[in-house]
Structure 1
Amino acid sequence: MALLALLVLLALAGPVWATWDTCRGTCGLRPMAFDHSSVAAEYSQDSDYEPLDSSDGASLDKGGAGVHPGAWPGVISVQATLENGTWHMCSGALIHPQWVLTVAQCFTRAGDISRWEVVIGATDLSQPGPEAELRHIQTLLVHQYYDPATARNNIALLELDQPVECSDYIQLGCVPDSSLAVPELKTCYMAGWRATPDSAPGPRLVLQEAKVRLIDVQLCNSSRWYGGAVHPQDLCAGYPRGGIDTCQGDSGGPLVCKDNAGDYFWLVGLASWGKGCAGAKRPGVFTSTQHFHTWIQVQLGLLPPEADAPAPEPFPSPEEEPEADSGREVNPNPDDSEDYTGVSFQQQILGKFLNLLLELLHFLKGDKA
């Protein structure tokens, strides 16, 4: 009977398992990257990195060549085709073979989303290469409580028209749940697309990276920094003295941190906003993906919608308790005890299923006796 129950559960979860299996259920891997420990040692706050402090395409590093192909296999480019050509609009991260995580502000005036597309697995947008994949956007899901004025809940999901196959150049990002102590992660990077004006025959948009540090949100929100503008669902990353930062065109760019115990990376943030570029006490502000882990799971169909319901209002104290509403049904099941607790429809079905299994087991044992 245990086998029967397992088969029933597999039948219910089959489509989800099949989707994730195209990338073997893995995430956070960088098959084409150099040794991470040696790379981390080369970068420091005093490294030869220039700030992202201009909108004319100044490159992140002085060489301007960008990262080597496959260095960040989960970073994608969201592009729009307009009357004057196709343009990179923002960045994002592949978190599922058919879903991309990015920021909502990228689509404030998006217009016809069918004219937008996603480039996956490229490090040079002018020459994506045979390992890159191009997909159109089938569905745009902006967070229902996104506020453009304050950048609160600045997150969105893009469903691709077809799933992609993972490779050395295409990998999934790992979104952490509440069990990961994100502030304790030490080796973090941000990535963004930068133009190379000295290249022939013209500028090329290439992917570049920089090592950054997570900055305590309370410090980031202090009066001499951002003065309370950073939300609880945000992260700050960069350096107190500036010099390395996100800038124009980096919206949605991933902030990733290496796991302290394993050789894989966590997608902890998405570039959201900032004041200026690379200034002292003005680090980049990122949407914390950990804060929206449940929301992502609900949108992907991995959790029921009620799992992401808003937190209930606190119960009033006895002296503030309002008068009873005669039209409200206090206990929907009067046969239950006073400590009645509501359960979801799925829980009710599961309970009935388990009861049937128990009855069948008792019946079989009786036959054998």
Structure 2
Amino acid sequence: TASRIVGGSEASRGEFPWQVSLRESNEHFCGAAILTEKWLVSAAHCFTEFPDPAMWAAYTGTTSIRGSDSGTVKMGIARIIPHPSYNADTADYDVAVLELKRPVTFTKYIQPVCLPGAGHHFPTSKKCLISGWGYLKEDFLVKPEFLQKATVELLDQTLCSSLYSHALTDRMMCAGYLEGKIDSCQGDSGGPLVCQEPSGKFFLAGIVSWGIGCAEARRPGVYTRVTKLRDWILDAISA
């Protein structure tokens, strides 16, 4: 029940410069976002099966799943640090940080996303953006050639909790549409949900975590709520 983008459109180069493709044994497996020159943030559930950093590589600066464009930078992973409270059964605390083997150089196509403050308010029904190379349809296991993006609405927590029989915790948030049609899907997991503020800056509001199906009615995507975990993220990357 991970996530992919259904009902989206192709992203242009440099539109999501913080987007990372995490490859396990050279296959795109999850998304991530650039926090600093040395650190990425993703979902803890991406690494339960493959916890060894040596099996992973991060592709940055590209919108192509093959990583074939000229600005692509392939990075090795030195460490994977999942949240110590991550619970695989409930998907609570679904966040991990990844340390790169060497710092990445920022370019027009490689930039960090802004981490929100703990008190940063992302209002209900705000329109935000998801991006990833996940499946384009739920039961149609085709991954796109180029990075996909979609606009989703932040949903009311109480409403979303009721749709998921109260399985939501404070570390989760929902985005999408009650009628379905647009959502993240398998392969988008760990990728960013970003919201643009009036300053023009994009802030990381959520991390693609789980859902039931993809783009189904009354089954919106569930994301790790970054404001609740930013203190841990900052501690982990500065330790």
Instruction: Give the TM-score normalised by the residue count of structure 1.
Output: 0.60
Matched, 1:158 2:98: yes
Output the aligned Cα RMSD.
2.2
Aligned length: 233
Structure 1 CA distance, aligned partners of 2:38 and 2:192?
Answer: 18
1:73, distance to aligned residue in structure 2 (A): 0.4
2:166 is aligned to 228
Structure 2 CA distance, aligned partners of 1:60 and 1:148?
Answer: 28
Q: Secondary structure at the match of 1:206?
A: coil
1:126, distance to aligned residue in structure 2 (A): 1.5
Asked if structure 2 preserves the Cα contact closer than 8 Å seen for 1:119 and 1:135, the reply is yes
Q: Secondary structure at the match of 1:178?
A: coil
Structure with the larger helix share: 1
Matches within 5 A, 1:1-369: 60-61=7-8, 66-81=10-25, 86-183=26-123, 186-194=126-134, 205-222=145-162, 225-259=163-197, 261-301=198-238
Identical aligned residues as a percent: 36
Any idea what the Cα deviations from partners look like across 1:118-167, whole Å, max 9, x if unmatched? Answer: 00111002143221211110011010011000001010000000111111
Asked if structure 1 preserves the Cα contact closer than 8 Å seen for 2:20 and 2:31, the reply is yes
Structure 2 residue ranges without an equivalent (≥5): 137-141
1:58, distance to aligned residue in structure 2 (A): 8.5
Asked if structure 2 preserves the Cα contact closer than 8 Å seen for 1:80 and 1:116, the reply is yes
Structure 2 CA distance, aligned partners of 1:138 and 1:111?
Answer: 12
Structure 2 CA distance, aligned partners of 1:105 and 1:195?
Answer: 17
2:139 is aligned to none
Q: Secondary structure at the match of 2:183?
A: coil
Letter in 2 for 1:71: E
Structure with the larger strand share: 2
Q: Secondary structure at the match of 2:147?
A: strand
Structure 1 CA distance, aligned partners of 2:88 and 2:143?
Answer: 32
Q: Secondary structure at the match of 1:139?
A: strand
Letter in 2 for 1:290: T
Asked if structure 1 preserves the Cα contact closer than 8 Å seen for 2:119 and 2:227, the reply is no
Q: Secondary structure at the match of 2:119?
A: coil
Cα 1:133–1:184 shift into 2, 3 Å: same
Structure 1 residue ranges without an equivalent (≥5): 1-54, 197-201, 303-369
Structure 2 CA distance, aligned partners of 1:218 and 1:58?
Answer: 24
Instruction: Choose 186-195 or 226-235, whichever is displaced more.
Output: 186-195
Letter in 2 for 1:218: T
Any idea what the Cα deviations from partners look like across 1:334-369, whole Å, max 9, x if unmatched? Answer: xxxxxxxxxxxxxxxxxxxxxxxxxxxxxxxxxxxx
Instruction: Give the TM-score normalised by the residue count of structure 2.
Output: 0.91
Cα 1:220–1:185 shift into 2, 3 Å: closer
1:59, distance to aligned residue in structure 2 (A): 6.1
Asked if structure 2 preserves the Cα contact closer than 8 Å seen for 1:186 and 1:258, the reply is no
Cα 1:220–1:177 shift into 2, 3 Å: same
Cα 1:148–1:135 shift into 2, 3 Å: same
Cα 1:124–1:59 shift into 2, 3 Å: farther
Cα 1:111–1:264 shift into 2, 3 Å: closer
Q: Secondary structure at the match of 1:294?
A: helix
1:257, distance to aligned residue in structure 2 (A): 0.5
Cα 1:144–1:204 shift into 2, 3 Å: same
Cα 1:273–1:203 shift into 2, 3 Å: closer
Letter in 1 for 2:106: C
Any idea what the Cα deviations from partners look like across 1:196-245, whole Å, max 9, x if unmatched? Answer: 9xxxxx975321001110001111011xx111011111110001111111
Letter in 2 for 1:96: T
Q: Secondary structure at the match of 2:34?
A: strand
Cα 1:113–1:73 shift into 2, 3 Å: same
Q: Secondary structure at the match of 1:183?
A: coil
